[in-house]
Each structure stands twice: as C-alpha cells, then as structure tokens.
Copies of this chain bind each other. A is one copy, B any other.
Amino acid sequence: MSSLPFFHPIQDDLQRVEDLLQEPVPDQHPAITGAVELLLGSGGKRLRPALVFLSAHLCGADPDVALFAAAGVEMLHTATLVHDDLIDGSLMRRGAETLNARWSPAATVLTGDYLFARAAYLVACTENVRLVRRFAETLMVICNGEIRQMFDERGKVPTFQEYERRIYAKTASLIALSAESGAILAHTNEAAIAAMRTYGARLGLAFQIVDDVLDFVADEWTLGKPVGSDLRQGLVTLPVMLFLEQNGDHPVLQRILTHGSSEPMVQEAVQVIVASPAIERSLQVARNYIQEAKEALQLFPSSEYKAALLDLADFIVQRQF
C-alpha cells in the first residue's frame, strides 16, 4: 500500500515511523522485542500513521512531533489487535500466525498491555496534553465498544444506528483520532480540528464497512483469514442486515442467527449474500461516508496533502484487501 500515489508526499515520514516502531527499548525482554518485530513487521497498511502525517502537513504541525503521534497510533492499533485475536481465538491475521497461536494467553495479554504502555509513552513524547487525553478517550471508546459487542446476544440483528455505533468504536474512533492528531499538534483553529476529525470518522466508518464486505467477497488468500468469519462468530454486519431487509425469512440465515452455524450453512449463507444486491448496497453506504469525508475537507485550501487525503478516501472504497 505504501507504493500508492497518496503516500508519496509522506514516504520519508513513514520510513521514520517504521524505524521508531522497531527501535529497541533498553531492558526490554527479548520475547517482547521478538513479538514487536513479528507484529509490526507483518506488513500493516500504515493507514493511521499516514493520516497523522497528511493531517500534520496540511495543518502545519512539526513533522518531528507528528512522528511520535504516528508511531503511537500504530502501536495502539497493534495492541488492540493482539488482545482482539486472543479474545476471538484467531490464529491467523494478514496471512500470518497471530501471537496467541504461538504463545500462551497469559503472555499475549501481557504483550498487549506492554504495547498499550509503549503507545501511551510515544504519544506523551509529543508533549501535547490534549492529544494524550484524546488518545486515552479513544482507547476507552474502543474497549467499551468491544465489551458491548461481547455482551450482545450472538446472532442479534442490530439497527443501523447500533451497527454504526459498533463500527465507530471498533475502527472509526482511532482513524478519526489519527486524522485529528495533525490538526491538534498544529494548534490550528477548532473548525479545522473538527473538520479533520469528521474526515477521519467518516473514512473509518467506510473502511470498516468495506472490511465487512470483504469478509464475504474476498478470497481467503487475499484476506489472510477464512471468508465468512463474522457470520461464523454470530456477528451480524451490514451485508447481512441489508440482505435480511429483503429476505427476512431466508431459512439458512434464520437458522444461523437463532441456532448457531455449521460450516456448510455458513458457506451457503455467504454464497446467497454475495449473489444478492446487499453487497452493492453496503458499498453504496460506504461511498456515502466517503463523500461526507471529502466534503469535510472543503475548508482547507488546495495542496498536495489535501489532494492525497481526497485520493486516499476514494481508495478506501476501491481496495480489494
């Protein structure tokens, strides 16, 4: 993804993020160093650090300070993935073994905690108290959302508002923070900070909807995990919601949602949903969010960074991975 045109203006910045993320910490246990290499070397998209830097350049923040925010959001993202994989019992992510597939749950919990602490440290290095507070608030939103999802009934069909709240907590909140970070660090006006935040939030909602669509339409190799995994876990996402709107009495779907799923049932459900208009309708919802994200940037004058943010938004709904 780093070869995409909208990453060009921040290529050097992103290289500095890689270096900082991998920088060894004195006295750090070799197991943690190994885990960090494994987790951060497995080719994340670096979408969040890119947003921090594009926002920082657009709003005029010091890139040397933005560097810490960029590394901090990526580290926080990584920490949440470590605990997510443990909670879901996921053994694969991005086509590679997860930490909990190799390690004990206890070691995985502690490594995640360590990465949270390291993320907090990196963000504190910006010496910007507002950003530190926003960072902590965002982690609260993420955890609160995951706990809500966990206590939700398996197979429960959410309202659109409930779905939006869930994907905001899960994905959009941190992407909004990333986009907002550069503006906060630039000490620019509140309207610009709010605009970057809106841009990031809408981008993040679209991003998660595309993820939820890819869980149906992607092939397993590209996805790096089995297709239909949300449905298999009883998690109802937008494609299922929109499918049910028009096929509320579909027997296989109904059975999965009320009684749990067997593998052939999941495969059948994936096939009928992929063949239905629910996929295209889901993508249309994502495209609407992308439109709102782009509109939020209207108050900024033209620049290569604004152009990159607009291109990045379009890319979100075109991506295949």
Contact = CB atoms under 8 A, between A and B. Distances in A.
Nearest to A127: B129
A16 interface: no
A147 interface: yes
B151 A139 contact: no
Interface in A111-129: 111-114, 116-118, 120-121, 124-125, 127-129
A121 B150 contact: no
Copies in the complex: 2
A146 interface: yes
A144 interface: yes
Contacts of A27: 144
A184 to B, nearest CB: 13
A94 interface: no
A107 interface: yes
Given A116-B116, A129-B124, A111 B29 contact: no
A132 interface: yes
Nearest to A72: B136
Interface of A: 25, 27-29, 31-32, 80, 83, 86-87, 104-107, 109-114, 116-118, 120-121, 124-125, 127-129, 132-133, 135-137, 139-140, 142-144, 146-148, 150-151
